[in-house]
Structure 1
Amino acid sequence: MPVTGSDIGRRQSIPILYTKGTHYEVGFDVGRTFGSLIQSFVNSSEALNQEYLPAYNTTEGKEAYEATLNNLIRNFPQYIKELEGIADGAKVPFYKLLLLHIDDVILKPQNKEGLKQPTGCSSIALNLKDHAILGHTEDALSDTLNHFYFVSAHIISDKPQGRWNVKEEKFTSLCYAGHLPGYTMNYNHHGLVFSINTISATNLQPGKTPRHFLTRAMLGAENFLQVQQILRDSGVGAADACSVNLTFLQQDGDRVFHNIEVGPAVNSSESQLSALTISPGEDFIHTNEYQRLPLDQANEMMLLSSKCRSETLKNYHPPSSFEDVVKMLGDTSHPEQKVFRDQPNDYVKTIAVGIFDCNNKTWSLYSDNPIYNEPLVVLPLLLKNPKSN
């Protein structure tokens, strides 16, 4: 019997698009290629349809939306064009896609909270001489399952774009349907590799820069200084919060990883940042709560899940290999708050697992638990000016 909608189960499929052009052209190709997935996600997204659209249809919500859009047009016009391209190619309304990027910030004027579900991701950085690994579970509301794809894009502009004057971007990113690249796990041709952990801050700031756009801008970063500059976003600042785990494959000297916690720009015109360096011989775990920034956090269910996942991962001996990271990210030992989440009635599921091997310059993607499954694909990390080993 044919299956449809939510009955299709976990698909062993991650489609990929290779595309080249302007921001709008790349966006249009993404929308045109993945239009059915994007339309399906827009129609089924509980957060969009039950939370963001009702908020948008209020006076306060419209004002927050317009203030955010005007800020983005001033500072990141190229990414607005990219999102317009996705909307046009997929034949979905632009405002619905932008609402997915504004996220819970649209709810702030009415002092509402978003869906109180234990969403989030787990990231592990391992910095040994023989094993330099960044591993990540991509966890999302269950309606996101099967609604994602790879975008491998080469964007060349005829003049510098946006506040950071970027003319060329070349990257590969795992994308939620209808979303800009940059907010899950990604790498660019300068050798920047990074993953994102969502954090639910309490004091969200309508009119400032949504985290999705800050991490999109990171795909053009050439070095750690530029990453910090992008995330600090001086003059405006972040509207919400996240954690960024990163390294550069071609950095001089010993390899280091970094974790940067990003907080909203409250009574300020720049994001709150806390950066930590993971030196040679060290490992690091981050889930979906602040470890260093002393800021109020919302979503008690996500905080509980984060603490449980962190405790589970820290109960392991410090990882010393690729296989150790696989075991940790596939862990299902906790009775409720599992690291790899795939319970039948869970509101949140692990939609994919990615492991970057920084020494061998590969990215292994699993669409199911990595303990019991081979990677669905192992992508080479292709760099602009690769150094000889």
Structure 2
Amino acid sequence: MKENISRNPKMLCVEYVSQGRTFGSLINSFVRGCETLNKEYLPAYETPEGKQAYDDTLTNLKRNFPQYIKELEGIADGAKVPFHKLLLLHIDDVILSAVKKEGNKLPTGCSTIAVNTNNQAILGHTEDALCDTLNHFYFVSAHIISDKPQGRWNVKEEKFTSLCYAGHLPGYTMNYNHHGLVFSINTISAKQLEPGKTPRHFLTRAMLGAENFLQVQQILRDSGVGAADGCSVNMTFLNQEGNRLFHNVEVAPAVNSNESLLNVLTISPGEHFMHVNEYQRLTVEQGNEDMLQSSRGRTVTFKKYITPSSKQDVINMLGDTSHPEHRVFRTQPDYVQTIAVGIFDCKEKTWTLYADNPVSNEPLVVLPLVLKSTKTD
């Protein structure tokens, strides 16, 4: 069977420009082939309303997250891709809301399961994406040290590993940092988006520098501006004191507000949780009916299982293909497919990545979770 990059993501420590150069062919290929970018976001950008939303967003980001704008500019320069095209990928459907057009109607999104017992601490995640993304993702492992504090959160050092879509900032898929933060993201489609506010991609990028849960909440709340769109964050800290806790944070756009709407669920020892691509606790009007139907179909599948209590239970659930329309592990000819499955073992401190169904295939790679030494904390 012919191997492709989507089934074998590369891993490399890179600087911004060299990241663009290293993965330039993948980034260019993705930008050329991305239908939502070329048929929806770019036409919206060419309108006065769309250009105003783009400019307002960029002004906000330069003020609050200048280091991540420089990072994206470096990637664009290295790959020789126009910067505005990469930023539009991060603004996402928010640019469409500025021109009163509905966003993505495809059943995109991911599934996440966490198990928290005395013997097991597992965070499992399917990375489901548009077929445009196949062959267009890689690992980014970075250690960034700045002479001066950067951005609104005064970050001086970041060290992390992230599964990254071509041309995108890290942080919006599966990730961990050297402070022990492990997290994954589920996209959620709120009906009302907020042009000019902070895109979720930048909030999750900032999370890669977070040292504790309070900082994570501060970043996601984004007081003074707030989120432009929504998502769900599934997370834990490997080095936390006391009992192991997982958290799920639902994030909704800052509508008529200057900070994101958050709902935090804490998963204590002996508990588990599952999240897909809909708001489970926040009362927010949701868009993308196909995404909602897919989420509900996957939830029905999960409820057929006994309470998961082991890594194998999580693997079995994330690899399930039993639903006739809305499989958990998606391989049917569709606009959306599962391109990877990740299993974070928080006790063993490993990240196992599967390129194919984990029920019947060996992992592609098992990465150690390398944390900051307590001697230098």
Residues 81-121 of structure 1: CA deviation (Å, up to 9, x unaligned): 00001001111000000000000000112211123100000
Question: Counterparts of 1:69 and 1:109 in 2: how far apart (Å)?
Answer: 14
Aligned residue for 2:358? 370
Q: Return the alpha-carbon distance in structure 2 between the equivalents of residues 223 and 89 of structure 1.
A: 33
Q: Which of 158, 164, 187 is matched with 2:176 structurally? A: 187
C-alpha displacement at 1:152, in angstroms?
0.4
Q: What code does the residue aligned with 1:60 have?
A: E
Query: Is residue 372 of structure 2 the alignment partner of residue 384 of structure 1?
Result: yes
Tell me what 2:240 maps to: 251
Corresponding residue for 1:57?
A: 46
Q: Is the 8 A contact 2:6 2:136 kept in 1?
A: no
**Does the CA-based 8 Å contact 1:61-1:106 persist in structure 2?**
yes
Deviation at 1:125, TM superposition (A): 0.7
Residues 250 and 386, structure 1, Cα contact 8 Å, conserved in 2: no
TM-score in terms of structure 1 length? 0.95
Q: Does 1:14 align with 2:29?
A: no
Q: 2:317 aligns with which of 322, 328, 333?
A: 328
Amino acid of the structure 2 residue aligned with 1:282? E
- The equivalent residue for 2:89 is 100
Equivalent residue number for residue 145 of structure 1: 134
Q: TM-score, normalised by structure 2?
A: 0.98
Q: For 1:239-388, what aligned pairs fall within 5 Å after superposition? A: 239-343=228-332, 345-385=333-373
Stretches of structure 1 lacking an aligned partner (at least 5 in a row)? 20-25
Q: Distance in 1 between matches of 2:170 and 2:363?
A: 22
What is the Cα deviation at residue 335 of structure 1?
0.4
Name the CA distance, whole Å, in 2 between partners of 1:46 and 1:61: 18
Three-state SS of the structure 2 residue aligned to 1:364 is strand
Matched letter for residue 13 of structure 1: N
Q: Secondary structure, in 3 states, of the residue corresponding to 2:172?
A: coil
Give, in whole Å, the separation in 2 of the partners of 1:318 and 1:118. 26
SS of the residue 1:150 aligns to: strand
Rounded Cα–Cα distance in structure 1 between residues aligned with 2:169 and 2:80: 16
User: Which 4+ runs in 1 deviate beyond 6 A?
Assistant: none
Q: Which amino acid aligns with 1:354?
A: G
Percent identity between the aligned chains? 75
2-structure distance, mates of 1:319, 1:191: 24
* CA displacement at 1:18 relative to structure 2: 1.4
Q: Which residue of 2 aligns with 1:22?
A: none
Q: Give the secondary-structure state (helix, strand or coil) at the position aligned to 1:327.
A: helix
Structure 2 portions without partners, runs of 5+:
none
Residue pairs, 1:44-83, within 5 angstroms: 44-83=33-72
Cα distance in 1 for residues equivalent to 2:323 and 2:139: 31
Following superposition, the deviation at residue 386 of structure 1 comes to: 5.1
Q: In the alignment, residue 93 of structure 1 is paired with which amino acid?
A: P
Within 2, Cα distance between the matches of 1:224 and 1:10? 34
Measure the CA separation in 1 of the matches of 2:364 and 2:303. 27
Q: Give the alignment partner of residue 214 of structure 1, picking from 195, 203, 215.
A: 203
Q: CA offsets, 1:258-296, max 9 Å, x none?
A: 000000000000000000000000010000000000000
